[in-house]
């Protein structure tokens, strides 16, 4: 890439952030001359920045007054950021408790465009443990976290996937996945061996908010040789389900008795 062009691109991004910050801090809508003065840019450059951000829905223009304000996409983005920050803040004590209780790595995971994102974690003190996954993404159908979130979110997930041919074609065995998601809905927990790599066991339980919507999953990762069935059934799964229920209550979720 051309060095000069790269430098210009970075400066443009920085100025775009400055512009958004200014619009967020001002109580009144801004004009191009005001933005040009505050950002120390020519009116032409400000106009180009505004046009780009407007295309993305990050700002809106009042054509009559010739002023600009933050757009709906900017507020939606802020809500996603706040939601993730709130999820990490509320979940972290539960990650610490589970990690110390079982001495295994525990994560909070969320869904992002049909991929699982590993947001935060508390690691174990074990000498043999799985590699850190924070910040990594995986297709939802490859691992317990993704399956737990999808299974508990909607029963028609595969029907909706069928409308997106490319994604459906990437799933090796659609019938097997359908059966797995059904079992997870019944049991409330997802367990897989090898989904995130050879020798890795993952256990995941979904977390809900006040409206019953799934917002993520508590996910434990450990070497498979430590996750024998007896330990899973008697220790890990009950503990994970209890913690997920308590964390869901922090988000205002109240389980309705049947």
Tell me if 256 is assigned to some domain: no
**Which of 13-17, 44-48, 233-237 is the most confident on average?**
233-237
> In the chain, pLDDT over 90 holds for what percent of residues?
34
**Which among 96, 90, 84, 97 is positioned nearest to 121, based on CA atoms?**
96
Q: Write down the residue that tokens 């020519």 correspond to.
A: 42
137: which strand partners? Answer: 117
The region of weakest confidence among 1-5, 20-24, 27-31, 252-256 is 1-5
- Does one domain contain both 170 and 243? yes
- Does one domain contain both 120 and 227? yes
Residue range 96-134, pLDDT digits in tens = 999 999 999 999 998 877 888 888 889 999 888 888 888
> CATH number for the domain including 16?
1.10.10.10
- Does one domain contain both 48 and 83? no
- Does one domain contain both 241 and 185? yes
Note if the pTM is more than 0.75. no
- What six digits make up the tokens of 213? 């919507």
Tell me if 255 is assigned to some domain: no
The region of weakest confidence among 42-46, 48-52, 75-79 is 75-79
- Does one domain contain both 60 and 96? no
- Does one domain contain both 9 and 56? yes
How much is the mean pLDDT over the chain?
A: 83
Domain that holds residue 190: 79-250
- Does one domain contain both 17 and 120? no
188/243 Cα distance (integer angstroms): 13
pLDDT-derived band at 3, boundaries 50, 70, 90: very low
Domain count, the chain: 2
Q: Measure Cα distances from 27 to 23, 47, 50, 61, 68 in Å.
A: 8, 21, 18, 15, 12
HSE, side-chain direction, 13 A CA sphere, residue 97? 13
Tell me if 20 is assigned to some domain: yes
pLDDT-derived band at 6, boundaries 50, 70, 90: very low
The pLDDT of residue 2 = 46
- Does one domain contain both 102 and 50? no
pLDDT greater than 50 at residue 25 = yes
The residue ranking higher by pLDDT, 92 or 170, is 92
- Does one domain contain both 202 and 89? yes
Tell me if 258 is assigned to some domain: no
- Does one domain contain both 135 and 189? yes
246/240 Cα distance (integer angstroms): 10
- Does one domain contain both 100 and 169? yes
Domain boundary pick from 70, 88, 116:
70
Tell me if 145 is assigned to some domain: yes
66/48 Cα distance (integer angstroms): 15
Residue range 166-211, pLDDT digits in tens = 455 566 678 888 888 989 999 999 999 998 999 999 999 999 988 8
Angle at 95 between CA 90 and CA 98, to 5 degrees: 135
pLDDT greater than 90 at residue 144 = yes
State the alpha helices, DSSP H only, in the chain. 3-25, 32-39, 43-55, 72-102, 144-153, 157-162, 165-169, 174-187, 229-231, 237-250
73/153 Cα distance (integer angstroms): 24
Tell me if 257 is assigned to some domain: no
pLDDT greater than 80 at residue 152 = yes
């Amino acid at each position: 890439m051309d060095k000069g062009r790269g430098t210009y691109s970075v400066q443009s991004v920085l100025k775009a952030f400055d512009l958004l910050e200014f619009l967020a801090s001002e109580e009144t809508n801004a004009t191009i001359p005001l933005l040009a003065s505050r950002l120390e840019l020519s009116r032409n450059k400000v106009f180009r920045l505004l046009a780009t951000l407007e295309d993305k829905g990050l700002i809106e223009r009042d054509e009559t007054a010739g002023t600009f304000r933050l757009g709906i996409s900017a507020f939606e983005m802020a809500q996603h950021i706040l939601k993730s920050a709130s999820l990490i803040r509320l979940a972290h004590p539960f990650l610490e408790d589970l990690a110390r209780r079982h001495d295994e790595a525990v994560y909070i995971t969320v869904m992002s465009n049909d991929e699982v994102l590993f947001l935060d974690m508390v690691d174990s003190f074990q000498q043999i443990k799985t590699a850190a996954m924070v910040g990594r993404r995986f297709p939802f159908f490859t691992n317990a976290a993704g399956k737990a979130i999808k299974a508990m979110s909607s029963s028609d997930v595969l029907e909706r996937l069928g409308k997106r041919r490319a994604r459906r074609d990437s799933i090796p065995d659609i019938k097997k996945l359908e059966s797995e998601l059904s079992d997870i809905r019944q049991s409330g927990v997802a367990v897989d061996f090898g989904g995130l790599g050879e020798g890795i066991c993952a256990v995941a339980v979904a977390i809900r908010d006040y409206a019953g919507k799934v917002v993520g999953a508590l996910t434990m990762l450990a070497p498979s040789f430590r996750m024998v069935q007896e330990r899973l059934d008697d220790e890990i799964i009950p503990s994970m389900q209890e913690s997920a229920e308590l964390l869901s209550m922090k988000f205002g979720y109240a389980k309705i008795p049947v």
